[in-house]
Amino acid sequence: MISNSKPLQHTGAIVGRLAPSPTGYLHLGNAWAFLCAWLGMRSRGGRLIMRIEDIDPQRSKPEYIHALCEDLRWLGLDWDAGPGAAEPEHPCDQISDAGGTAPAHQLYQQSGRLHLYRQAMLELEKRGLAYPCFCTRKELRSLAGAPQAGEPAEVAYPGICRGLGPEERASRIAKGHNYSWRLRFQENFQERHLAFDDLVYGRVKLGMEQTGGDFAVCRSDGVFAYQLAVVLDDIAMGVNQIVRGVDIITSTPRQLFLYDLFDAPPPEYAHVPLVLDHEGERLAKRHASISLRGLRESGVRPEAVIGWLACWSGLRNEVALRSAGDLLNDFSFSAIKHEPDLLPPDIADILRDLSR
């Protein structure tokens, strides 16, 4: 199945990516999403890239890069380019925009690609597609009303700074007001950005309020937004299948819009269900006992992790020890359950027993 109303133009290689943020140890949920990205590529003979999404210097820690590569290799996954690739290809051959000042090995790390984001940002600004936004977080929060705990408010940015004249902008900047850069999404979007075909969930239709409306491409502290970086990187690296957690699905319209602005064909999307703990919470660092590292150290085998996830997700009917390769021959995104069960509270014990 091919997503989006705009036809895909990639007739050559299929390219996917693993795009972890090095902000902690990988957990069972990361293992599941990366397993799907691996299966999506390897089942079709595609190439897989490892790209480190360390764009936020406050949250990213270099020591986690080595750890995540180690954990994924332990799980039995491999990739063809980027940090930790088994037989790394020469990075400059693989990336279409390998210019700039970063050393070649950093081209698969967002922190080494800031010059490219800056260049694209300037272009968007020149084309009149981006505008400075002086709204503070506090102001935006009060406009949004009180969101449910942990839930992002489903309110589109009301466009307060969209219509400011050049003089007003210049005067605020001269006075030292902080500002982010937002994209004119709400005025320029098209229906095909809000409705697209997903390899797991089928036809998806989102409202403007779910996407947040005019979205930030650069924060007021100068950090480029995930939305911008991820699309530029995926275009530059020739990625044409994106597999990631369904929690990011509301980013997809914004990203489809960016593909259009950069005149690039959109990729296929497969959003996969999240692994939630027994209380329905997303996995996070506090779930240390079900980090891949924690599981491995307590005697769990990678085949137990994969075999259990395969049954939980609907890819297999019963739990058994399995390698990633065991799931390849009949792999299909459409077999994945849209709402799999919550994790049992004793999942670590279950995986340990299965490993015996």
Q: Which stretch binds ligand GLU (CB under 6 A): 19-27, 73-81, 171-179, 310-318?
A: 19-27
Q: At its nearest, how many Å lie between ligand GLU and the CB of residue 8?
A: 18
**What span, in angstroms and rounded, lies between the C-alpha atoms of 270 and 268?**
7
Residue 198 engages ligand GLU in binding (rule: CB under 6 A): no
Cβ proximity to ligand GLU, 49 vs 194, nearer residue: 49
Phi and psi at residue 242, to the nearest 5°: -115, 125
**What span, in angstroms and rounded, lies between the C-alpha atoms of 131 and 128?**
7
Asked whether 109 and 54 are in contact (CB, 8 A), the reply is yes
Cβ proximity to ligand GLU, 54 vs 303, nearer residue: 54
How many Cβ atoms are within 10 Å of 259's Cβ, its own excluded?
18
**What span, in angstroms and rounded, lies between the C-alpha atoms of 297 and 68?**
15
Judged by CB under 6 A, which of 130, 230, 235, 290 binds ligand GLU? 230
Q: At its nearest, how many Å lie between ligand GLU and the CB of residue 176?
A: 33
Cβ proximity to ligand GLU, 248 vs 342, nearer residue: 248
Task: Write the DSSP assignment of 232-251 as a string of letters.
Answer: HHHHHTT--EEEEEGGGGGG
101: Cα within 13 Å, side-chain hemisphere = 2
**What span, in angstroms and rounded, lies between the C-alpha atoms of 1 and 15?**
16
Residue 303 engages ligand GLU in binding (rule: CB under 6 A): no
Q: How many residues sit in the footprint of ligand GLU (CB under 6 A)? A: 7
Asked whether 309 and 328 are in contact (CB, 8 A), the reply is no
Judged by CB under 6 A, which of 3, 4, 14, 19 binds ligand GLU? 19
Cβ proximity to ligand GLU, 244 vs 316, nearer residue: 244
**What span, in angstroms and rounded, lies between the C-alpha atoms of 299 and 39?**
25
Residue 208 engages ligand GLU in binding (rule: CB under 6 A): no
Cβ proximity to ligand GLU, 20 vs 340, nearer residue: 20
Judged by CB under 6 A, which of 3, 4, 15, 20 binds ligand GLU? 20
Q: Please provide the distance, in angstroms rounded to a whole number, between the alpha carbons at the two ends of the chain.
A: 40
- Site for ligand GLU, residues 24 to 63, rule: CB under 6 A: 53
What string marks each residue from 235 to 264 as x (binds ligand GLU by CB under 6 A) or -? ---------x---x----------------
Residue 69 engages ligand GLU in binding (rule: CB under 6 A): no
| Residue ranges that bind ligand GLU, judged by CB under 6 A | 19-21, 53, 230, 244, 248
